[in-house]
């Protein structure tokens, strides 16, 4: 009998792509998911699978779905569900996480989900004899270390930029200390962006949050006779900062390829680009898309005491990422390249970045009312 993998976090951006690739590879999947305000967990997953089937162009075996909650003991499973898991599941793929950067209360998010939620996952695995664990961490457990960051590195006495990084570090340390698993495979994605082929995303964080803001600024200024917009903004970057941005579909493909090859288990994988993009390319491409002139990169130490209205708006809307204004760490990707020599991380070229922007525009940057019913396929554009 083929055993199932028990998965958390299937309805988030990365999770939906991982689920798609697992089902496409005919892996038996069981999902623990919370109901939403308007739909049961079963209905949410049914709608998701229907969308995935449209994307891949064929029927998929639906996952077994359990109502559950990461923050409850035993993940909130009743006894019959727990017994089903013990009988049918031999692996856990733990993807659920809080992306909240700053904790607003002691013991609240992101620690509640990322640390205490993980403890609940481990306890369920222990009680159901699941002995293979696949853990989705983040490359930024390295904190403020500049690198190079090796895939075997974890605790180097580093400091952290925010509670999200610290909570994911604590979670990875906890899972590594757990003694109930025969194998532990850790996936550390860098900054996840949209789908490389279609631009699709269900959330706007990191690079995409900057694109969203640039779009708002662009719409506030009428173009001149030449079709261009002049918007005077001084930005405290040089343009040479490295950014480790990865498309979500590549991350999911890499994870599932590794998941399906037991010989690759037991390692840690940085899912990061060999050649990071630069802020000059990633931000400059967006400015070009919206025909914006007047933006000046003035360096990290520039004194901008006389902010204009646009600069004040930039400061307010990007403050959450201030700690990341300098270059990203250098991430060693030796394990990932050795495991997947034929699956290099795609380059974030101009066309791909345009697809991210085009999807955001069509989605009204998350405000489109029908977004829940859309799939990446709905927004497919040509790939050059």
What is the domain partition of the chain in residue ranges? Answer: 4-189
Give the span between the Cα atoms of 289 and 108, in whole angstroms: 40
Tokens, residue 149: 């960051």
Tokens, residue 183: 């194998």
Helices (H), the chain: 13-24, 41-56, 79-88, 111, 117-128, 163-177, 207-219, 248-259, 279-289, 309-318, 334-339, 350-362
Q: What percent of the chain has pLDDT over 90?
A: 89
Give the span between the Cα atoms of 210 and 283, in whole angstroms: 8
Question: For the residues 299-304, what does the mean pLDDT come to?
Answer: 88
Tokens, residue 307: 């902010």
Q: Are 87 and 2 in contact (CB under 8 A)?
A: no
Asked whether residue 272 carries a pLDDT value surpassing 70, the answer given is: yes
Quote the pLDDT of residue 327: 86
Question: For the residues 52-70, what does the mean pLDDT come to?
Answer: 96
pLDDT tens string 95-143:
999 999 999 898 899 999 999 999 999 999 999 999 999 999 999 999 9
Give the span between the Cα atoms of 352 and 265, in whole angstroms: 31
Give 4-189's CATH code, choosing from 3.90.740.10, 3.40.50.720, 1.10.10.60, 2.60.120.430: 3.40.50.720
Quote the pLDDT of residue 1: 61
Query: pTM for the whole thing?
Result: 0.94
Q: Which residues partner with 189 through β-bridges?
A: 271
Asked whether residue 371 carries a pLDDT value surpassing 70, the answer given is: no
Nearest to 271 by CA among 354, 331, 342: 331
Residue entry with tokens 């949410």: 44
Quote the pLDDT of residue 376: 52
Q: Are 187 and 271 in contact (CB under 8 A)?
A: yes
pLDDT tens string 334-350:
999 999 999 999 999 99
Quote the pLDDT of residue 379: 39
Cα 246 vs. chain centroid, distance in angstroms?
Answer: 9
Question: For the residues 167-184, what does the mean pLDDT come to?
Answer: 98
Quote the crossing angle between the two packed helices 279-289 and 207-219, to the nearest 10°: 30
């Amino acid at each position: 009998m083929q055993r199932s993998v028990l998965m958390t976090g299937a309805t988030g951006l990365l999770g939906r792509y991982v689920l798609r690739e697992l089902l496409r590879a005919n892996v038996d999947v069981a999902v623990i998911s919370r109901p939403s305000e308007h739909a049961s967990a079963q209905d949410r997953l049914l709608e998701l699978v229907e969308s995935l089937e449209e994307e891949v162009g064929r029927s998929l075996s639906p996952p077994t779905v359990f109502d559950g909650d990461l923050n409850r003991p035993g993940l909130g499973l009743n006894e019959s569900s727990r017994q089903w898991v013990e009988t049918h599941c031999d692996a856990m793929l733990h993807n659920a996480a809080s992306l909240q950067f700053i904790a607003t209360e002691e013991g609240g998010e992101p620690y509640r989900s990322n640390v205490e939620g993980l403890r609940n996952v481990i306890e369920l695995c222990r009680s159901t004899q699941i002995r293979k664990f696949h853990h989705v961490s983040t490359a930024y457990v390295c904190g403020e270390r500049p690198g190079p960051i090796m895939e075997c590195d974890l605790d180097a006495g580093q400091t952290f930029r925010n509670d999200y990084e610290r909570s994911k570090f604590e979670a990875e340390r906890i899972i590594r200390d757990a003694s109930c698993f025969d194998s532990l495979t850790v996936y550390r994605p860098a900054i996840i962006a949209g789908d490389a082929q279609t631009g699709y995303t269900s959330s706007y964080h990191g690079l995409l949050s900057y694109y969203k803001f640039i779009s708002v600024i662009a719409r506030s200024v009428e173009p001149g006779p030449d079709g261009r917009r002049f918007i005077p903004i001084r930005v405290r970057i040089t343009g040479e900062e490295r950014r480790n941005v990865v498309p979500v579909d590549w991350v999911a493909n890499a994870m599932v390829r590794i998941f399906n090859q037991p010989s690759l288990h037991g390692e840690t994988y940085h899912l990061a680009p060999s050649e990071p993009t630069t802020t000059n390319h990633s931000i400059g491409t967006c400015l070009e898309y919206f025909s914006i002139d007047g933006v000046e990169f003035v360096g990290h130490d520039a004194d901008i005491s006389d902010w204009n209205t646009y600069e004040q708006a930039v400061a307010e809307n990007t403050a959450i990422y201030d700690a990341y204004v300098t270059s990203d760490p250098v991430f060693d990707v030796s394990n990932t390249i050795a495991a997947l020599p034929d699956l290099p991380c795609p380059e974030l070229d101009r066309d791909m970045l345009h697809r991210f922007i085009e999807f955001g525009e069509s989605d009204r940057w998350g405000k489109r009312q029908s977004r829940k019913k859309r799939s990446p396929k709905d927004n497919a554009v040509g790939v050059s």
